[in-house]
Structure 1
Amino acid sequence: MPQANFEPIVNMSEHIKHPLVKPNTVEQRLYQLDLAGKALSAPTLVVLPTGLGKTIVALLVIASRLQKTGGKALILSPTKPLVEQHAAFLRSTLNIPEDEILTFTGAVAPDKREELWKKGKVIISTPQVIENDILTKRISLEDVTHITFDEAHRAVGNYAYTYIAERYFEDAKKPHCLAITASPGSSDEKISEVCTNLYIRSVAIKTETDPDVTPYIHKKEVEWNHVILPSEMRELKDLLEKVLEDRFQKLTELGYSIQYGKKASKMDLLGLQKKLQGQIREMAEPAVYSALSILAEVMKVSHAVEIVETQGIEALKKYTARLENEATSRTGSKASKRLSDDLYMRQLYKRLEECTTEHPKLAVVKDIVSKELNGKPDSRVIVFTNYRDTSEMVTNALSEIKDIRPVKFVGQSSKFKDKGLTQKQQVEIIEKFKAGEYNVLVATSVAEEGLDIPATDLVVFYEPVPSEIRSIQRKGRTGRKHEGRVVVLVTKGTRDEAYYWSCAHKEKRMQSNMQQWQENMSELNRANNENDKTDIASEFRSEEEQQTGLSDFSDEEVTVILDQREIRSTVARSLEKLGFNIVVKTLEVGDYIVSDRVAIERKSTEDFVNSLLDRHIFRQISDLAGAYEKPILIIEGEGLFTTRMVNPNAIHGMLASLSLDFGVSILHTRDAEDTASLIGILAKREQIDEKRSTSVHGKKSSMMLSQQQEYIVSSISNIGPNAAKNLLDHFGTVENVMKAELDELKEVKNIGPKTAGKMREILSSKYKN
């Protein structure tokens, strides 16, 4: 029986009895014991529906590992609120002194973390913090006997989980891990990547239909509510589709037709974009640049069509306002500027101003939520929307109804006229939602995963989502402690229906694939106890990878000093993996120091082009060249000439200026791994071949008063460096520029009516937080 591996915890009473679990704190459920038993036999991916106690399975595994093996346990979770949530649960259930159950987040100073790590028995942390502390050698995973990877479906690409798992199975004396998720993904490739990255050798799955799970499942009704797009909104859609038809025709004339035309999916458009970028690298013909720019217009208009079909008029107004702002901005793309001048787009903007119809979904949401709260005043409701603009629109509409107390719940990032929520604000909102101060949470994807949101009576999808992972996470917000209800709104004849069928297919495929994976790995599951950590680690790394390291260069230690901000990139991870000694400091000049004379500034292609527009790079390179004898600029990534549709001559001119005027060597790399390899070669050449030591010197230059004045004025939308100088020459001071009236601004050289009007709007409009 699987439970045989879990003997210390199994007890046929109502609560778990174990020396490291506090009495009467954890209800005994056989399916959780079964999963924990399987998980203890090998590094295991546990898939369990939301609300069925994945954290309890982790608790049982942690308790057993600590009792049998000793050492430390590490629990990794993607966000600070989740870390705090897990810590509170473990402190209430683990029979371990609370001062040995620690939380690590960015809010805890690095030196303090290093000190706490030594005495901690159970550490709950965000993965980025642990990754940084491993890279800077503040901590060692040598004595960690168990790691839990929460929300394990994130372990793809360059996410910190992948690096931590690799280092763990290399460094730990007795490694073991548990990966937990409600939805690992529908494709074999995604599941395989997660399992490979986390060194998983066993998969254990429970579904809501399993006999040992069904007693704990509450009924969850799923309803599909179909609405019809009003004629006034169809007219707006028709105008957008005329723009699309024109742009697709232009693409065809350039030799780049797209199958399905205006019905092309986002994946089709991204596929063509990738193809065009590849052609630019091979042959920079004007037609390719033109096609890329037109394609950028297509993608913007296609998104507007989706908003009309699935969101609403208010959301469309906000999106078009951002397009207009981009078109008038000095850094705006040619695509946005051309769209702003398009006849059909101008008609759309005019119709939008006159439009009195709103998307029927809004009335349906108001009706559904009102009936729920009228029938059950103590209910809690979550309305999920894909876009922030829609979440604000829905929140405002619901707030007009008596006894409905809605609150918008969004992520941290901010953009034009849209401020995000800090993690602290998110936690405060959730607490008020629990307490009933708010009874409706209008949320974007930030509320789908992991946060300790109370069981809700009703979940509304404002639109279907094409992702099976997100759909499962959303549905899991109801039906936890009592019966729940899910309502999905679908606009007939739109991409809502396409997303619905796509998601339904993916959910079925995921269940099928997971069962197949469980069967395929059963043999490994039985044999895992005989395998040591070396077998586990080496099985997932090719012979070439196992042999890669600093030994390829020399047995001597080579040091790379990097700026603390660079720790966020995967370059640092790759350097450490190659065997270099990483030293992290706050560097005023440069990103990487490899000797007393060689310093490196690293820019992604997007950062490089952006810095061309704001001219910031010239000051950075000037400081670098002034402080180090041999300054180097590394431009990382592809698409240098396509990222922002900047004229190639401007980029070539910038490169020439940096090379000739500042004497900087300009090198190009494919990606972060390639950058790390290049930096390693430079460091090895300087420190081993040339016998030079590393030395940090140079200070960031301060801007002169005139430069500071130009910087302030040029920060105004649509005002570049030359326009800022013209304004200051004309008015004499920054203060006078800010006070200038519209007619006065138009008198300045190269300041037209449109720019002057935009300046006055920014300078005189009331600030709204």
Structure 2
Amino acid sequence: MPEYIKHPLIKADTVEQRLYQLDLAGKALDVSTLVVLPTGLGKTVVCLLVMASRLEKLGGKVMVLSPTKPLVEQHASFFKNVMNIPEEEVLTFTGSISPEKRSELWKTGKVIISTPQVIENDILTKRISLENVTHITFDEAHRAVGNYAYTYIAEKYFETAKNPLCLGITASPGSSDEKIAEVCESLHIESVAVKTESDSDVKPYIHKKEIEWKRINLPDEMKEIKDLLNKVLEDRYKKLTELGYPIYNKRFVSKKDLLGLQTKLQGELRGGMPDTSVYSAISLLAEILKVSHAVEITETQGLEALRMYMERLDNEAGSKSGSKASKRLAEDLYIRQVVHRLKDCDLEHPKLEYVKDIVLNELENKPHSRVIVFANYRDTAEMLTKALAEVEGIRPVRFVGQASKYKDKGLTQKQQVEIIEQFKAGDYNVLVATSVAEEGLDIPSTDLVLFYEPIPSEIRSIQRKGRTGRKHEGRVVVLVTKGTRDEGYYWSSLSKERKMQSNMKELQSAMPARKNNSIEEEFMLDSNGKDQKTLFEYDDNNESKPENKDNIKIVVDQREIRSSVARSLDRNGVEITVKTLEVGDYILSDRIAAERKDTQDFVGSLIEQKLFEQISNLSRAYEKPILIIEGESLFNCRGINPNAIHGTLSSISLDFGVSIFYTRDPEDTAALLQQVAKREQVDEKREVNMHGKKAAAMLPQQQEYVVSSISDIGPKAARNLLKHFGSVENVMKASYEELLDVNNVGPKTAAKIREIIGSEYKR
């Protein structure tokens, strides 16, 4: 009979006593700690023990942050079941709860489980304060890198809380010392506590996990299709070389190499007036990346997945906003041969038969088994689900993320939760999943995990394998196509996993006895603990927030808090106020407001004909409007002709009187905004004024808007049409021949106008 944890804040007979969990909790109560524990061994219980101790001794609130809404709900259900506090004091915060409601709930909650983005937004908008939060757990802590919300929340927590202590929990922190160090620094972690499957106190809870690697030959017909694609690559590599950008060792060039060259080319674009060869090279590189992806799909996924990809490529080429790269590829002789071969070829990747045989064999031998099949791509997941559904006894379901794209609708988080519940209940016995099923979700103990292909990431590989061997013996099968990228990913993943295990052992061996011995008494257990390795020492004086000596204020549009600009402004000591603005993204004074657009957004707004309306509103509402273009690939977005971008920028500056600034990234944007605001508010003694509203468009602008709403007609063509015919009505009445008399209106545009205006409306 198992013994159970005894604690005033934990319900009796609900949480089994495990020595290693008590040991880890004891270490995590000493200092802010990163706990590394294999999947399925109860990281959430360690979190519970630390939370209960902090609540009993210090009161206040405790918080658990988890990356997704399903994970948040999963954790909330666990804590409500085992914690001896009123259920109404255990709260979930997600985007589906209104900000006003969250603000009210915050006052009464003791245990808050939330997605990090929600907490980040509520801190920025000053709806909540972390002053009385006595503990934060960062679930899946390996995410705490770069601009992820965990980084900002930890920074604000240690800046404002009276008694801060945090716990990071993960099964796989990464193979590099640099990655682990970045996570620790981001979360203000001072020590690392590690348990591995080989530890004596963990071994009793570990079940055998058999791992098999099945190597498969690529059929000749698929090799022929791959050879056609390689001919396209060879041609594009040759053209790149002729432009002065040779690709060495073409046979082994990686995506990382290609992206590195892309970054170099974009740097040359920013360096003044680049040679036209740079634009050509960037466009060629876009083609190479697309074809290289098609080769990988052929080698590792199969022809059905390749068909879907080629169909999307063809759809992109035929669309108005399609890139030049996709249009040129659609016309390429070898690509057309590939498409033709795909129509006539009934062959599928031999992996598909292996998947059906392995899954069927598992379910026939163990009828109550649960199986997860992992695939890197949604198209493959769709293909596998359909193929498995044709086999009697297999009840598969596709499990993918939320994003939707052409002919591929994602799953909402509610649908994801429903599918997991049906999988648990046995309505489905096979989950065909992409990466969304790798991390943390409460998927039941699985008897078989099947990798359709290896993955080079050690973190993702470990998480996938962790889906089996939890409550009983499990099995992992990885399919590898010989002589393809599968083999490269296989060796890469193995190497990184071994390095991570080695790093973890080194960390563990460097941990002397800990100082905190109260955990045994508190939870009624006797354990032998070790101390932990201190990674960082913090100087409180160096960690303080910059003072806002000049009392600089900036009003930020509500939608802009999704970017990290507002976070950077706050870090820099600027007093930010978040409002819903009708005009602009940032208000810096009574006469200056700024519209921020990253390069993708700028080009997207131009294509969708929203840009000039936004700029017009900004210029009418503020005396000195600013446009900030953020990013380094303006002339490489969506295949737009550089002349069109130069023309747009000229019009924004000369016709609308808007000042244009270029920044590298959100941090650079924040620095610029701060300097402009300082100049206005400190040097010029101006107040911040939110007077800006969308001014009613004048009649000529309204007329131009009506005409330019017709497909293929831009602002310039609309003005030419109106000048020529004198009114909107006359434009609409004009014949095809009369339209051709207008400057910049050719046969195609004239035909389009007549088709739209003269065709019968049918819905």
* TM-score between both structures, scaled by the size of structure 2: 0.89
Which residue of 1 is the match for residue 8 of structure 2? 19
- Distance in 2 (CA, whole Å) between partners of 1:429 and 1:362 is 23
* Residue-by-residue CA offset, 1:379-409 (whole Å, 9 max, x unaligned): 1111100000000000111111122111111
Q: Secondary structure at the match of 1:300?
A: helix
Which residue of 1 is the match for residue 681 of structure 2? 687
Q: Secondary structure at the match of 2:185?
A: helix
1:350 aligns with 2:318: no
| Alpha carbons of structure 1 residues 713 and 320: separation in structure 2 relative to 1, 3 Å | farther
Which residue of 1 is the match for residue 297 of structure 2? 307
Conservation of the 8 A alpha-carbon contact between 2:141 and 2:183: yes
1:569 aligns with 2:563: yes
Which residue of 2 is the match for residue 403 of structure 1? 393
| Alpha carbons of structure 1 residues 417 and 18: separation in structure 2 relative to 1, 3 Å | same
Give runs of aligned pairs for residues 129-278 of structure 1, distance below 5 A.
129-278=118-267
Of 454, 462, 486, 1:472 maps to 462
- Distance in 2 (CA, whole Å) between partners of 1:676 and 1:541 is 26
Which residue of 2 is the match for residue 654 of structure 1? 648
- Distance in 1 (CA, whole Å) between partners of 2:503 and 2:336 is 49
- Distance in 2 (CA, whole Å) between partners of 1:459 and 1:729 is 66
Give 1:232's aligned amino acid. E
Of 626, 629, 634, 1:635 maps to 629
Of 72, 83, 94, 1:83 maps to 72
| Alpha carbons of structure 1 residues 467 and 724: separation in structure 2 relative to 1, 3 Å | farther
- Distance in 2 (CA, whole Å) between partners of 1:678 and 1:559 is 14
1:437 aligns with 2:427: yes
- Distance in 1 (CA, whole Å) between partners of 2:49 and 2:633 is 49
Q: Secondary structure at the match of 2:129?
A: coil
1:423 aligns with 2:416: no
Shift of 1:528: 14
| Alpha carbons of structure 1 residues 98 and 505: separation in structure 2 relative to 1, 3 Å | same
Conservation of the 8 A alpha-carbon contact between 1:196 and 1:540: no
Which residue of 1 is the match for residue 383 of structure 2? 393
Which residue of 2 is the match for residue 590 of structure 1? 584
Shift of 1:305: 0.3
Shift of 1:691: 2.9
1:450 aligns with 2:444: no
- Distance in 1 (CA, whole Å) between partners of 2:464 and 2:557 is 40
Shift of 1:719: 8.7
Shift of 1:450: 0.9
Which residue of 2 is the match for residue 366 of structure 1? 356
Q: Secondary structure at the match of 1:487?
A: strand
Q: Secondary structure at the match of 2:39?
A: coil
Give 1:47's aligned amino acid. V
CA RMSD of aligned residues (A): 3.0
- Distance in 2 (CA, whole Å) between partners of 1:525 and 1:629 is 63
* Residue-by-residue CA offset, 1:695-715 (whole Å, 9 max, x unaligned): 22344468898778767763x
Conservation of the 8 A alpha-carbon contact between 1:361 and 1:462: yes
Give 2:464's aligned amino acid. R
- Distance in 2 (CA, whole Å) between partners of 1:239 and 1:431 is 45
Moved more, 249-258 or 317-326: 249-258
Shift of 1:642: 2.7
- Distance in 2 (CA, whole Å) between partners of 1:395 and 1:673 is 44
| Alpha carbons of structure 1 residues 673 and 631: separation in structure 2 relative to 1, 3 Å | same
- Distance in 1 (CA, whole Å) between partners of 2:348 and 2:731 is 47
Which residue of 2 is the match for residue 736 of structure 1? none
Q: Secondary structure at the match of 1:454?
A: coil
Of 575, 599, 605, 2:599 maps to 605
Conservation of the 8 A alpha-carbon contact between 1:723 and 1:751: no
- Distance in 1 (CA, whole Å) between partners of 2:715 and 2:307 is 31
- Distance in 2 (CA, whole Å) between partners of 1:706 and 1:438 is 57
Give runs of aligned pairs for residues 112-131 of structure 1, distance below 5 A.
112-131=101-120
* Residue-by-residue CA offset, 1:121-180 (whole Å, 9 max, x unaligned): 111111111111111111111111110000000000000000111111111111101000
- Distance in 2 (CA, whole Å) between partners of 1:104 and 1:325 is 40
* Residue-by-residue CA offset, 1:317-365 (whole Å, 9 max, x unaligned): 1111111111122222221111111111111111111111001111111
Overall identity of the aligned pairs, in %: 67
| Alpha carbons of structure 1 residues 538 and 216: separation in structure 2 relative to 1, 3 Å | closer
Give runs of aligned pairs for residues 60-75 of structure 1, distance below 5 A.
60-75=49-64
| Alpha carbons of structure 1 residues 754 and 517: separation in structure 2 relative to 1, 3 Å | farther
Q: Secondary structure at the match of 1:157?
A: coil
Conservation of the 8 A alpha-carbon contact between 1:202 and 1:518: no
- Distance in 2 (CA, whole Å) between partners of 1:107 and 1:43 is 31
Of 308, 330, 333, 2:320 maps to 330
| Alpha carbons of structure 1 residues 628 and 708: separation in structure 2 relative to 1, 3 Å | closer
Of 49, 67, 83, 1:94 maps to 83
Which residue of 2 is the match for residue 515 of structure 1? 505
- Distance in 1 (CA, whole Å) between partners of 2:149 and 2:595 is 24
Conservation of the 8 A alpha-carbon contact between 1:241 and 1:262: no
Shift of 1:724: 11
Shift of 1:755: 14
Shift of 1:102: 0.7
Give 1:114's aligned amino acid. S
Shift of 1:229: 0.9
Conservation of the 8 A alpha-carbon contact between 1:391 and 1:443: yes
| Alpha carbons of structure 1 residues 516 and 314: separation in structure 2 relative to 1, 3 Å | same
1:321 aligns with 2:311: yes
Which residue of 1 is the match for residue 553 of structure 2? 559
- Distance in 2 (CA, whole Å) between partners of 1:505 and 1:754 is 58
Give 1:158's aligned amino acid. N
Give runs of aligned pairs for residues 497-516 of structure 1, distance below 5 A.
497-516=487-506
Q: Secondary structure at the match of 2:503?
A: helix
Shift of 1:418: 1.0
Which residue of 1 is the match for residue 282 of structure 2? 292
| Alpha carbons of structure 1 residues 249 and 582: separation in structure 2 relative to 1, 3 Å | same
Q: How many residues align?
A: 722
* Residue-by-residue CA offset, 1:660-683 (whole Å, 9 max, x unaligned): 110111112221112112212222
Moved more, 49-58 or 609-618: 609-618
Conservation of the 8 A alpha-carbon contact between 1:713 and 1:724: no
Conservation of the 8 A alpha-carbon contact between 2:590 and 2:687: yes
Conservation of the 8 A alpha-carbon contact between 2:423 and 2:430: yes
Which residue of 1 is the match for residue 613 of structure 2? 619
- Distance in 1 (CA, whole Å) between partners of 2:718 and 2:440 is 48
- Distance in 1 (CA, whole Å) between partners of 2:416 and 2:234 is 43
Shift of 1:547: 7.0
* Residue-by-residue CA offset, 1:508-561 (whole Å, 9 max, x unaligned): 0011112233455x47976999xxxxxx9994589887574423xx2xx33211
Conservation of the 8 A alpha-carbon contact between 1:170 and 1:537: no
Q: Secondary structure at the match of 2:410?
A: coil
Give 1:409's aligned amino acid. F
- Distance in 1 (CA, whole Å) between partners of 2:71 and 2:683 is 48
- Distance in 2 (CA, whole Å) between partners of 1:187 and 1:423 is 32
| Alpha carbons of structure 1 residues 329 and 200: separation in structure 2 relative to 1, 3 Å | same
- Distance in 2 (CA, whole Å) between partners of 1:459 and 1:672 is 40
Which residue of 1 is the match for residue 748 of structure 2? 750
| Alpha carbons of structure 1 residues 24 and 544: separation in structure 2 relative to 1, 3 Å | closer
* Residue-by-residue CA offset, 1:467-487 (whole Å, 9 max, x unaligned): 000001101111111111111
- Distance in 2 (CA, whole Å) between partners of 1:438 and 1:697 is 57
| Alpha carbons of structure 1 residues 236 and 424: separation in structure 2 relative to 1, 3 Å | same
* TM-score between both structures, scaled by the size of structure 1: 0.89
Q: Secondary structure at the match of 1:222?
A: strand
- Distance in 1 (CA, whole Å) between partners of 2:562 and 2:143 is 17
Q: Secondary structure at the match of 1:662?
A: coil
- Distance in 1 (CA, whole Å) between partners of 2:368 and 2:243 is 61
- Distance in 2 (CA, whole Å) between partners of 1:724 and 1:418 is 36
Give 1:265's aligned amino acid. S
| Alpha carbons of structure 1 residues 539 and 528: separation in structure 2 relative to 1, 3 Å | farther
Moved more, 640-649 or 205-214: 640-649
- Distance in 2 (CA, whole Å) between partners of 1:583 and 1:538 is 34
Conservation of the 8 A alpha-carbon contact between 1:136 and 1:584: yes
